[in-house]
């Protein structure tokens, strides 16, 4: 099968590897191909036999299925730029973590040339599951596309024939998951500063006995250090989702700011590049909290 990938970041490359391993033809495009970061992407494409295109439309031309896996803020723009090259009747799977409104707008662009838009909501982290990551599908073409996606190895199920339902499920889940990450980082760094972390953890264990708070905190810190930028974008889309429901997104907006704040610190090299590449291998979250506190003391001295 001829497949296209819009977005050749971490998720796009994982999908490309698994689909190429099955023998499918894969063409990809990413805006980073036009920057210095494109060198690594080109190297990956050579190793795995992925054809790189010069534009969105060139990448999708002739493909039976296009998968859009870009950053959340680029969801609509990627659909609009791909639309002129989409083959009538082909499927366009929107893999992005965006609000229901963004998905509906993206679907309208895809439909202009007769392609069939499928809303996709990825329900957990991709790397551990790869192609088998749990995926909710939505929209009037979701049922038609399910057989093709299942044949390719996706662990997909149809959530609704109505656009927006799958994404609303994903976004509301993200408010809890990414919000909890942000709250734990904020709480544990502050507790470390006051020297009350042991009391805090003891109290949390008593209230939530099923959670290993030491391990969970280390995992949360590492996730946000490594993926904070992407997670912040997702939380901004979650805030849009809440706003579309008629609520002020106090929690989602605050979580987005904390995720972005950690990402900014990571970009300065505070946590070390090697450390950013390791996920949940730091034995103690205190190491990262101390780095943050040392940085804050230096910034105010």
Quick one: average pLDDT of 109-115? 96
Quick one: average pLDDT of 81-95? 97
What's the half-sphere exposure (Cβ side, CA atoms, 13 Å) at 111?
12
Quick one: average pLDDT of 232-247? 96
257-261 long-range Cβ contacts below 8 angstroms, 24+ apart: 257/232, 258/182, 258/185, 258/186, 259/178, 259/181, 259/182, 259/224, 259/228, 259/229, 259/231, 259/232, 259/235, 260/228, 260/229, 260/232, 261/228
Residues 6+ apart with CB under 8 A from 184: 216, 217, 220
What is the Cα–Cα distance from 92 to 65, expressed in whole angstroms? 6
pLDDT for the residue 272:
80
Please identify which residue in the block is written with the tokens 């987005």.
256
Q: For residue 225, name the pLDDT band (cuts at 50, 70, 90).
A: very high
pLDDT for the residue 283:
65
- Give, in degrees to the nearest 5, the angle at Cα 40 between 39 and 43: 90
What is the Cα–Cα distance from 260 to 183, expressed in whole angstroms? 13
pLDDT in tens, 136-147: 999 999 999 999
Please identify which residue in the block is written with the tokens 């106090």.
250
Query: Taking 60 as the threshold, does the pLDDT of residue 275 lie above it?
Result: no
- Using an 8 Å Cβ cutoff, are 55 and 29 in contact? yes
Query: Taking 80 as the threshold, does the pLDDT of residue 300 lie above it?
Result: no
Instruction: Set out the domains of the chain in order of their start, with CATH numbers.
Output: 2-163 (3.40.50.720), 167-300 (1.10.1040.10)
pLDDT in tens, 280-292: 445 689 999 999 9
pLDDT in tens, 31-59: 999 999 899 999 999 999 999 999 999 99
pLDDT in tens, 180-202: 999 999 999 999 999 999 999 99
- Using an 8 Å Cβ cutoff, are 4 and 67 in contact? yes
């Amino acid at each position: 099968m001829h497949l296209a990938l819009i977005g050749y970041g971490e998720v796009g490359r994982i999908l490309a590897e698994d689909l190429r391993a099955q023998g499918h033809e894969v063409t990809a495009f990413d805006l980073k191909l036009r920057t210095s970061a494109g060198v690594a992407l080109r190297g990956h494409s050579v190793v795995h036999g992925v054809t790189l295109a010069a534009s969105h439309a060139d990448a999708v031309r002739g493909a039976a299925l296009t998968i859009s896996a870009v950053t959340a803020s680029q969801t609509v723009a990627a659909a609009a730029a791909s639309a002129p090259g989409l083959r009538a009747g082909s499927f366009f799977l929107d893999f992005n973590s965006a609000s229901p409104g963004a998905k509906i707008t993206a679907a309208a662009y895809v439909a202009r040339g007769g392609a069939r838009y499928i809303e996709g909501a990825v329900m957990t982290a991709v790397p551990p599951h790869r192609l088998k990551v749990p995926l909710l599908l939505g929209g009037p073409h979701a049922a038609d596309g399910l057989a093709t996606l299942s044949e390719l190895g996706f662990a997909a199920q149809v959530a609704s024939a109505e656009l927006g339902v799958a994404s609303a499920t994903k976004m509301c889940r993200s408010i809890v998951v990414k919000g909890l990450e942000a709250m734990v980082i904020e709480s544990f760094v502050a507790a470390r500063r006051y020297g009350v972390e042991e009391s805090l953890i003891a109290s949390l264990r008593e209230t939530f006995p099923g959670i290993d708070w030491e391990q969970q905190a280390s995992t949360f810190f590492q996730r946000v250090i490594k993926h904070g930028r992407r997670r912040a974008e997702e939380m901004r889309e979650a805030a849009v989702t809440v706003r579309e429901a008629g609520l002020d997104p106090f929690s989602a907006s605050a979580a987005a700011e904390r995720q972005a704040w950690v990402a900014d610190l990571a970009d300065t090299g505070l946590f070390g590049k090697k450390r950013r590449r390791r996920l949940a291998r730091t034995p103690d979250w205190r190491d990262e909290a101390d780095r943050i506190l040392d940085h804050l003391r230096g910034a105010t001295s």
